[in-house]
Structure 1
Amino acid sequence: MTFTDESTKATLAKITAQNAARREEAYGLRHLANERLDCAPAKAPKAGDGSKPPKKDNKTNSTKSKGKTKFNERNITRIPTSDGRETYRVQIRRRVNGKPHSICESFQYLKNAKKWRDQKLAEIELHGFPVVNRHAILTPYRRPKMTPCLAHV
């Protein structure tokens, strides 16, 4: 059984609290860190100790002022259009027999994009990923040869 003296425990607790405070500061949760950890805020490192101070993110206030939140939907990308609106692209990618395949569809409304995504994921789970035969698509359409009509001769 190993014993650690109280000074080592105190040092480890201080380091853990500082790391947690830095992580939460990076996510804009500084006020929660002080309440939850019941500790003083982490001090900025001195210039001579060789460590870098944490980066300050100036973009946190700009997203709040615009009223837009970070878009985080699985398999869906928000695409801004030139007229200020947004469209939504759903892209589902899978590997089939070691080769990458993808299904992609764009929608004007997020509700429709989510519905299509959920439907396709359910179909994929039931029937497997739909693989399109590209050779059939790339082969040009050949018209059947026309036979002359004997009535007009």
Structure 2
Amino acid sequence: MLRASLWTTKGVRKDAQFIVTLEGPPNPPLTLYFDGKSLDCDLRTEIDAIKCIRKCMLGLSKGCTRTRDSFEFVLKNLKMPIIFLKEGGEDVTSLKYFKTLAFVIGPQHDIDLPSDVRPSQVISIGKKSYLASHVISYINFYLDLKSNRIKIIK
């Protein structure tokens, strides 16, 4: 998911951030904030991404910070529209395009948002279930297309 969010063939995507909250043992929560503008990691391969995550978890990576923020805290402090990706949501083409958006996606299944967090929109990229990393890649492609950063040649 980190690679799908921040890596392009030209290097780290400078216009994106990736935030992940790890809630499993031994000491949850652990939230990692990766900022594409200043991230000093190579993300060319999955092994590179694992090394970057490990460095961030140890507090050794520029462009990445770690906190004990909960998932709920992260959502409540985003200060931007939240787009919830969920199977059965509105078609992605109905996305109300904002300059800055936060997309929330679960790693293997739909996740439950805290009851007091209201998404601006609930969208889906299709009727089938896809890997979270593929959904992120598709969303990046779609946003790049909508913002005219890429052109489709027919």
- Both structures adopt the same fold (TM-score exceeding 0.5): no
TM-score by length of 2: 0.20
TM-score by length of 1: 0.20
Considering fraction of residues, name the structure with more helix: 1
User: Which structure's CA Rg is the greater one?
Assistant: 1
Considering fraction of residues, name the structure with more strand: 2
Greater relative contact order (Cα < 8 A, sep 6+): 2
